[in-house]
Structure 1
């Protein structure tokens, strides 16, 4: 048999033509049992790929965000696979992220959900014990569409109809084919650690998160987050949009302008509702705390809330916690030469508490503005919180009880904002919220902050780590949540993001994720900017906003 030469972790290897990378490494005793994904010529790939001559592979040994996503997507496909075998008359829907897992439900309410969950767990475990291979299969797009149509899986067939590729990579388990948004694990045997946790009208598929593949974190319910996802699903039903293919159909049929108007109207309706909730709070001076992760649209949300509160007759004072950083010299003394600006201790909370108390007491206050070049606070003109005043306080720590407790004996209201997309590719593949926020940030950073996509991607892990420490643990503290995602925005972001992602050099550590995101965006048709209103949250990222930032 003809041999090929490949390079694995910079080591030259001979392999048999037509043999998978998995088989080659196993035969040579080089298979890492802890690794579930590889890089092939700089792009994420399955171990079950058949190498070509001179291919270069890098083993992903760390259980990082991409390895976790491969684990997650493989678990979702296995679950969907066994559900089809157990309950052929029903459809399992992998709906959205929840409590370090994926919330799943059936399209019809089962008679005995607990019994069904137990059956699914047993079938999943049996599949894992059987160590079934999960092999890539390349089909023409038309043949793939026919296959999924013949199997009654129109959600996947419709997704592929709009793909502008001649061929599509699928994955085979026991003769059944599945589409997946990332490579999958080499076999079902890699996923022995999982849990199905009953929750609300469905259950949560839980698995190890990045950093530790040997442990599933303790379960913490997220009832308020579930409510906001449910609200957005209702919006999706109003718009008749739950899948990417339905957005693409609306673009093709000329209905997208109306969908944009309806989506923006639903946003405005929720902002008006929040303003009215604040208005109903007793007290002459009300303090509102607003928090959310990066690129959730907090700034535009605050500006639109400001307008609605003004309509209700309130005077507004806005405070950004970013302006309360301790002067840099003080931070150097406390933390050393490389201070962590995302820690709560980096803020001058004593000054913040004093100024909030003075504002509530109607004393004049000179609010700070942090000068990042000079590394110190500059104090502005005096403000006074008169009767019927609302004080809006925004920042990543705004829902931390150590901040909200600074307000004593006065009404407060807490808002959490994030971009929680309810769109799915198909019933087995949900769209990660992180990808939406990352794409927003890539576009905004490149257009307005002189940071290219390579820098943004390379910095994203640090951003997410900060969110996991300082934002997500306190999201359930909110009195209300606002979902800033817009059902049409991937199509609008696409033309910018594809261009900026294409600027990432192949030699960069950011290239694999840039390539993954470019592939991700192929499934969305492009939407022009023109119909997006000037006060849209999306304008914060693409430009053309009527607000100043």
Structure 2
């Protein structure tokens, strides 16, 4: 039987003869010498399948390693089950929560009266390595996966056996345990450890907000949707946002900060947040100037190129840093400044249309992907700056073991916005997402610890609202499209949520309005 086989994201398809009813794992074994990394899953005719899947008809097969998002999640699910099994073996029957992504890993809590000790963490990690060495088969029993009789529910697929999970480490962290593993850009190396202290604090705040709103898991949210209590939930969530924005405005005035820098990953709600902060600063008697960094692009002929030879507008080298710093310092000094306007049609800055002067107590709000990078504002005194990192850091999980990735929440936001306001299909959003994520990993996430404050732009109710907008867009993606497998995964994810059909109660200055429409700020 003949199939078309693709190995890795940049390989060409090749024709290959196989035996009928062989498994994907059998094919992997035949081409192992050509594989740079461990294959974790396959895409057959644009559907994601486990390596145990048998092939009984001609098809297209793509072998996926951890560089692929679906394979990355499968690695996490498989590793998490090994971790839960090891905790059970070392500590006995114990409740373990897999809470959120932080420090290039998963933050977990072992629920008991006393925090876990370093010796116990070492023992759990040792047991995990023993389970991997034993190369134990994963079994599917009903809705649960199991290892040697230990069962747990995971809402994704698994690798065939524990031997596939070669790279991980455990770290005792605060009152919990970090379960760390490779980053997709380098699937065979545990990334350097960086303690994201401020991100940890933001997740802690999100947990407290969840307790206040009595929503810890998706079923708690679904119950409020079914009985109508979601309306109060929406009002509480919006009130918490407004209170946080007001607190930040108070700090900025008290500390007399003049340069307010705002950055965050795609679909964080930066524009709405910046405008709400501007209003709160006005409430405090200030007259802020709001501007972005897009007007400071270098001239088109000087734009750096990416690895494909195409213009790269994402990296810092695309910004005229010298002019930006000179203009900001001149404004701070009370001088009249001729600010540029970038003409995106001809690729050049224009002058003479925005001559600006500000007063000694007038702050400047600057929003842009590089805002937290010290190099962008290297010539501006640090005492003038106040840096804010914004991201929807969801602490709402499906259950104890199945977290909701922040990246999924952001992609749903972007998908809905792209369709509503930019004329893009869900297919194009999914297709562009890996490149978006690569840019974030390089230009945004490494600088989150530079922030003076975090703003969590998540609304606990938002996926229930986004569901009614996103579902029909995802269902439009056809099986012959390469984006089909990701659409199927997201549709299965949305199945966990009850939809909020009437979203009229959401305020017109809500961050969510930036994506679903009806905003007075965007």
TM-score in terms of structure 2 length? 0.91
Matched residue SS, 1:71 = helix
Match of 2:298 among 284, 302, 326: 326
> Among 262, 274, 289, which residue is 2:261 paired with?
289
Three-state SS of the structure 2 residue aligned to 1:426 is coil
Instruction: Give the conservation status (yes or no) of the 8 Å contact 2:45–2:480.
Output: no
- For 2:23 and 2:89, the matched residues in 1 are separated by 28
Residue 463 in structure 1 maps to residue 436 in structure 2: yes
Partner of 2:456: 483
Superposed displacement of residue 509, structure 1: 2.4
C-alpha distance in 2 between matches for 1:344 and 1:95: 33
What is the match of residue 352 of structure 1?
Answer: 324
Figure out how many residues of one structure are paired with residues of the other and give that number.
Answer: 508
Residue of 286, 293, 297 corresponding to 1:314: 286
1:430-445 equivalent positions in 2, closer than 5 A: 430-445=403-418
2:111 matches 1:69: no
Shift in CA distance, 452/204, structure 1 to aligned 2, threshold 3 Å:
same
Counterpart pick for 1:118 among 109, 113, 122:
122
Distance 1:401 1:270 in 2: 25
Paired position in structure 1 for 2:270 = 298
Q: What SS does structure 2 have at the residue aligned with 1:58?
A: strand
Pairing 1:61-140 to 2, within 5 Å after superposition: 61=65, 63-110=67-114, 112-137=116-141, 139=142
Q: What 5-or-longer segments of structure 2 have no aligned partner?
A: 6-14
SS at match of 1:403: coil
Q: State how far apart, in whole Å, the 2-side matches of 1:433 and 1:335 are.
A: 28
Distance 1:135 1:63 in 2: 25
Contact 2:40 2:164 in 1 (8 A): yes
1:117–1:332 Cα change, 3 Å: closer
- Of 33, 37, 40 in structure 1, the residue corresponding to residue 41 of structure 2 is 37
Q: Matched residues in 2 for 1:412 and 1:361: separation?
A: 15
Q: Which moves more between the two structures, 505-514 or 437-446?
A: 505-514
Which 10-residue stretch deviates more, 326-335 or 496-505? 326-335
Alignment gaps of 5+ in structure 1: 140-168
**Matches for 1:214-253 after TM superposition, within 5 Å:** 214-253=188-227
Pairing 1:169-180 to 2, within 5 Å after superposition: 169-180=143-154
Equivalent residue of 1:402, what SS? coil
Q: Give distance in 2, aligned partners of 1:280 and 1:106.
A: 41
Question: Which residue of structure 2 aligns with residue 533 of structure 1?
Answer: 507
Query: In structure 2, what is the equivalent of residue 145 of structure 1?
Result: none
Instruction: Indicate yes or no: 2:350 matched with 1:378.
Output: yes
Does the C-alpha gap of structure 1 residues 416 and 184 become closer, same or farther in structure 2, counting only changes over 3 Å?
Answer: same
Distance 1:8 1:178, change over 3 A: farther
State the SS of the aligned residue for 1:293. coil
1:406-444 per-residue CA deviation (whole Å, 9 max, x = no partner) reads: 313752111111111111111111111111111111111
The answer to whether 1:201 aligns with 2:175 is yes
Partner residue of 1:406? 379
Q: TM-score, normalised by structure 1?
A: 0.87
Identify the range of structure 1 (112-121 vs 229-238) with the bigger mean alpha-carbon deviation. 112-121
Alpha-carbon deviation of 1:546?
A: 1.8
Could you tell me how far apart the structure 2 residues matched to 1:408 and 1:95 are? 38
Q: 8 Å contact 1:67–1:210 — kept in the other structure?
A: no
Query: C-alpha distance in 1, partners of 2:305/2:223?
Result: 58
Indicate how the Cα distance of structure 1 residues 363 and 101 shifts in structure 2: closer, same or farther if over 3 A, else same: same
Deviation for aligned residue 1:489: 0.6
